[in-house]
Protein backbone atom coordinates (compact mmCIF):
# COMPACT_ATOMS: atom_id res chain seq x y z
CA UNK A 1 0.00 0.00 0.00
CA UNK A 2 1.18 3.51 -0.77
CA UNK A 3 0.34 6.56 1.30
CA UNK A 4 0.09 10.01 -0.25
CA UNK A 5 -0.31 13.17 1.82
CA UNK A 6 -1.58 16.39 0.26
CA UNK A 7 -0.50 19.44 2.24
CA UNK A 8 0.05 23.18 2.27
CA UNK A 9 0.12 25.80 4.97
CA UNK A 10 -1.86 28.11 2.71
CA UNK A 11 -5.62 27.88 3.13
CA UNK A 12 -7.66 27.42 -0.01
CA UNK A 13 -4.70 26.32 -2.12
CA UNK A 14 -6.47 23.18 -3.35
CA UNK A 15 -5.51 20.42 -0.92
CA UNK A 16 -9.00 18.95 -0.70
CA UNK A 17 -9.61 19.31 -4.43
CA UNK A 18 -6.38 17.46 -5.20
CA UNK A 19 -6.81 14.78 -2.51
CA UNK A 20 -10.39 13.94 -3.53
CA UNK A 21 -9.55 13.90 -7.23
CA UNK A 22 -6.50 11.69 -6.70
CA UNK A 23 -8.52 9.30 -4.53
CA UNK A 24 -11.20 9.07 -7.20
CA UNK A 25 -8.70 8.66 -10.04
CA UNK A 26 -7.17 5.72 -8.19
CA UNK A 27 -10.59 4.26 -7.33
CA UNK A 28 -11.82 4.55 -10.91
CA UNK A 29 -8.66 2.78 -12.06
CA UNK A 30 -9.79 -0.20 -9.97
CA UNK A 31 -7.62 0.36 -6.90
CA UNK A 32 -8.82 -0.10 -3.33
CA UNK A 33 -8.59 3.39 -1.86
CA UNK A 34 -9.07 5.02 1.52
CA UNK A 35 -9.19 8.77 1.90
CA UNK A 36 -8.26 9.99 5.39
CA UNK A 37 -9.69 13.43 6.11
CA UNK A 38 -7.78 14.87 9.07
CA UNK A 39 -9.01 18.42 8.49
CA UNK A 40 -11.66 19.34 11.10
CA UNK A 41 -13.54 21.14 8.29
CA UNK A 42 -14.24 17.66 6.83
CA UNK A 43 -14.52 19.06 3.30
CA UNK A 44 -13.13 15.94 1.65
CA UNK A 45 -15.58 13.71 3.54
CA UNK A 46 -18.45 16.04 2.66
CA UNK A 47 -17.50 15.86 -1.01
CA UNK A 48 -17.37 12.06 -1.02
CA UNK A 49 -20.66 11.83 0.91
CA UNK A 50 -22.27 13.74 -1.96
CA UNK A 51 -21.21 10.97 -4.34
CA UNK A 52 -23.99 8.64 -5.44
CA UNK A 53 -21.77 6.09 -7.22
CA UNK A 54 -19.39 3.77 -5.34
CA UNK A 55 -16.21 5.50 -4.21
CA UNK A 56 -13.24 5.38 -1.86
CA UNK A 57 -13.64 4.52 1.82
CA UNK A 58 -13.39 7.52 4.12
CA UNK A 59 -11.79 7.97 7.53
CA UNK A 60 -12.51 11.14 9.52
CA UNK A 61 -10.39 11.96 12.55
CA UNK A 62 -7.20 13.47 13.88
CA UNK A 63 -3.63 12.78 12.86
CA UNK A 64 -3.08 10.74 16.03
CA UNK A 65 -5.33 7.99 14.63
CA UNK A 66 -3.49 7.67 11.33
CA UNK A 67 -1.08 4.99 12.45
CA UNK A 68 -3.98 2.63 13.25
CA UNK A 69 -5.84 3.67 10.12
CA UNK A 70 -2.79 2.83 8.03
CA UNK A 71 -2.17 -0.50 9.77
CA UNK A 72 -5.80 -1.54 9.33
CA UNK A 73 -5.85 -0.43 5.70
CA UNK A 74 -2.69 -2.44 4.98
CA UNK A 75 -4.22 -5.50 6.61
CA UNK A 76 -7.42 -5.05 4.61
CA UNK A 77 -5.55 -4.94 1.30
CA UNK A 78 -5.94 -1.29 0.39
CA UNK A 79 -3.74 -0.05 -2.45
CA UNK A 80 -3.76 3.61 -1.47
CA UNK A 81 -4.22 5.74 1.61
CA UNK A 82 -4.62 9.37 0.57
CA UNK A 83 -4.56 11.98 3.34
CA UNK A 84 -6.17 15.42 3.12
CA UNK A 85 -4.71 17.79 5.70
CA UNK A 86 -5.65 21.12 7.26
CA UNK A 87 -3.54 24.21 6.63
CA UNK A 88 -3.00 24.62 10.39
CA UNK A 89 -2.68 21.82 13.06
CA UNK A 90 1.02 21.28 12.40
CA UNK A 91 1.27 18.31 14.78
CA UNK A 92 -1.46 16.43 12.91
CA UNK A 93 0.11 17.22 9.54
CA UNK A 94 3.54 16.06 10.77
CA UNK A 95 1.98 12.74 11.86
CA UNK A 96 0.58 12.33 8.35
CA UNK A 97 3.88 13.20 6.68
CA UNK A 98 5.78 10.80 8.93
CA UNK A 99 3.86 7.78 7.67
CA UNK A 100 3.72 8.92 4.07
CA UNK A 101 5.48 7.60 0.97
CA UNK A 102 4.82 10.68 -1.13
CA UNK A 103 4.06 14.27 -0.15
CA UNK A 104 2.30 16.57 -2.57
CA UNK A 105 2.65 20.24 -1.66
CA UNK A 106 -0.07 22.08 -3.51
CA UNK A 107 -0.14 25.80 -4.20
CA UNK A 108 -1.30 28.46 -6.59
CA UNK A 109 1.35 30.10 -8.73
CA UNK A 110 0.84 33.50 -7.13
CA UNK A 111 3.08 35.78 -5.10
CA UNK A 112 1.12 35.32 -1.85
CA UNK A 113 1.29 31.54 -2.08
CA UNK A 114 5.04 31.38 -2.54
CA UNK A 115 6.14 31.80 1.10
CA UNK A 116 3.67 29.17 2.41
CA UNK A 117 4.73 26.76 -0.36
CA UNK A 118 8.40 27.22 0.52
CA UNK A 119 7.71 26.77 4.27
CA UNK A 120 5.63 23.65 3.64
CA UNK A 121 8.38 22.19 1.44
CA UNK A 122 10.89 22.94 4.21
CA UNK A 123 8.75 21.03 6.71
CA UNK A 124 8.62 18.03 4.33
CA UNK A 125 12.39 18.16 3.92
CA UNK A 126 12.95 18.42 7.68
CA UNK A 127 10.93 15.24 8.14
CA UNK A 128 13.13 13.56 5.55
CA UNK A 129 10.33 12.87 3.11
CA UNK A 130 10.18 13.08 -0.66
CA UNK A 131 7.55 14.60 -2.83
CA UNK A 132 6.59 17.15 -5.40
CA UNK A 133 5.12 20.59 -5.66
CA UNK A 134 1.84 20.62 -7.56
CA UNK A 135 0.60 23.88 -9.02
CA UNK A 136 -3.15 24.41 -8.88
CA UNK A 137 -5.57 27.03 -10.18
CA UNK A 138 -3.23 28.05 -12.95
CA UNK A 139 -4.78 30.76 -15.08
CA UNK A 140 -4.28 30.18 -18.76
CA UNK A 141 -6.23 31.72 -21.59
CA UNK A 142 -5.43 28.93 -24.07
CA UNK A 143 -7.25 25.66 -23.35
CA UNK A 144 -4.63 23.62 -25.20
CA UNK A 145 -1.59 25.24 -23.59
CA UNK A 146 0.25 23.33 -20.86
CA UNK A 147 -0.63 25.04 -17.59
CA UNK A 148 2.42 26.48 -15.89
CA UNK A 149 3.64 29.46 -13.87
CA UNK A 150 5.48 32.58 -14.92
CA UNK A 151 9.31 32.37 -15.07
CA UNK A 152 9.83 34.48 -11.91
CA UNK A 153 7.52 32.22 -9.88
CA UNK A 154 9.17 29.09 -11.29
CA UNK A 155 12.56 30.50 -10.26
CA UNK A 156 11.46 30.85 -6.62
CA UNK A 157 9.85 27.40 -6.61
CA UNK A 158 13.07 25.92 -7.95
CA UNK A 159 14.84 27.10 -4.78
CA UNK A 160 12.52 25.35 -2.35
CA UNK A 161 14.09 21.90 -2.60
CA UNK A 162 11.11 19.85 -3.80
CA UNK A 163 10.82 19.21 -7.54
CA UNK A 164 7.85 20.58 -9.41
CA UNK A 165 5.47 18.00 -10.84
CA UNK A 166 5.51 18.42 -14.63
CA UNK A 167 1.71 18.57 -14.74
CA UNK A 168 -0.35 21.17 -12.88
CA UNK A 169 -4.06 21.90 -12.72
CA UNK A 170 -5.55 24.92 -14.40
CA UNK A 171 -8.35 26.99 -12.90
CA UNK A 172 -11.62 25.52 -14.20
CA UNK A 173 -15.21 25.66 -12.97
CA UNK A 174 -15.33 21.92 -13.60
CA UNK A 175 -13.30 21.33 -10.41
CA UNK A 176 -15.96 23.07 -8.32
CA UNK A 177 -18.95 21.54 -10.11
CA UNK A 178 -17.54 18.01 -9.98
CA UNK A 179 -16.65 18.36 -6.28
CA UNK A 180 -20.22 19.38 -5.39
CA UNK A 181 -21.32 15.93 -6.60
CA UNK A 182 -18.39 14.03 -5.17
CA UNK A 183 -17.10 13.34 -8.62
CA UNK A 184 -13.66 13.43 -10.09
CA UNK A 185 -13.09 16.12 -12.66
CA UNK A 186 -12.13 13.41 -15.16
CA UNK A 187 -15.62 11.92 -14.75
CA UNK A 188 -17.12 15.37 -15.17
CA UNK A 189 -15.33 16.47 -18.34
CA UNK A 190 -13.17 13.59 -19.45
CA UNK A 191 -12.26 15.12 -22.76
CA UNK A 192 -11.97 18.66 -21.39
CA UNK A 193 -8.86 20.47 -20.17
CA UNK A 194 -9.49 19.85 -16.45
CA UNK A 195 -10.00 16.12 -16.99
CA UNK A 196 -6.87 15.91 -19.11
CA UNK A 197 -4.82 17.80 -16.49
CA UNK A 198 -5.96 15.36 -13.82
CA UNK A 199 -5.26 12.29 -15.96
CA UNK A 200 -1.72 13.52 -16.65
CA UNK A 201 -1.08 14.38 -13.02
CA UNK A 202 -2.40 11.05 -11.75
CA UNK A 203 -0.27 9.14 -14.28
CA UNK A 204 2.77 11.07 -13.08
CA UNK A 205 1.98 10.49 -9.39
CA UNK A 206 1.40 6.78 -9.88
CA UNK A 207 4.74 6.32 -11.60
CA UNK A 208 6.63 8.40 -9.01
CA UNK A 209 5.18 7.04 -5.80
CA UNK A 210 8.48 6.87 -4.02
CA UNK A 211 8.90 10.58 -4.55
CA UNK A 212 12.24 12.23 -5.03
CA UNK A 213 14.33 12.74 -1.99
CA UNK A 214 14.27 16.40 -1.16
CA UNK A 215 17.29 18.23 -2.47
CA UNK A 216 19.15 20.90 -0.56
CA UNK A 217 17.73 24.20 -1.86
CA UNK A 218 20.14 25.90 -4.22
CA UNK A 219 20.17 28.93 -1.92
CA UNK A 220 21.58 26.80 0.94
CA UNK A 221 23.77 24.39 -1.00
CA UNK A 222 27.60 24.69 -0.86
Q: Which residues bind ligand ATP (CB under 6 A)?
A: 8, 11-17, 39, 41, 43, 87, 136-137, 169, 171-172, 175-176, 179
Tell me how far, at minimum, the Cβ of 108 lies from ligand ATP, in Å: 8
Per CB under 5 A, the list member of 10, 15, 51, 125 interacting with Mg ion is 15
Measured from the CB atom, the residue of 41 and 71 that comes closer to Mg ion is 41
Per CB under 5 A, the list member of 5, 8, 13, 16 interacting with Mg ion is 16
Neighbour count for residue 42 (Cβ, 10 Å): 16
Q: How far is 201 from 196, CA to CA, in rounded Å? A: 9
Using CB under 5 A as the binding rule, whether residue 120 contacts Mg ion is answered as no
Give the one entry of ligand ATP, Mg ion, none that residue 72 binds, where binding means its C-beta sits below a cut-off of 5 to 8 angstroms depending on kind: none
Tell me how far, at minimum, the Cβ of 15 lies from ligand ATP, in Å: 4
Measured from the CB atom, the residue of 76 and 90 that comes closer to ligand ATP is 90
Tell me, by CB under 5 A, how many residues bind Mg ion. Answer: 3
Tell me how far, at minimum, the Cβ of 5 lies from ligand ATP, in Å: 13
Measured from the CB atom, the residue of 192 and 217 that comes closer to ligand ATP is 192
Which single residue brings its beta carbon nearest to Mg ion? 16
Residues 6+ apart with CB under 8 A from 183: 24, 51, 53
Tell me how far, at minimum, the Cβ of 12 lies from ligand ATP, in Å: 4
Site for Mg ion in 22-81 (CB under 5 A): 43
Residues lying near Mg ion in the complex (CB under 5 A) are found at 15-16, 43
Amino acid sequence: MKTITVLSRKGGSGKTTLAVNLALMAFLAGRKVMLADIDPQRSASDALKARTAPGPSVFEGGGGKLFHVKSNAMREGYDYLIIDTPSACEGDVAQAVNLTDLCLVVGRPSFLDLAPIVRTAEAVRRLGKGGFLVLNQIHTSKPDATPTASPDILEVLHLCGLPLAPHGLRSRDAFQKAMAQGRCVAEWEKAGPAGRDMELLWAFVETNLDGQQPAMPAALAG
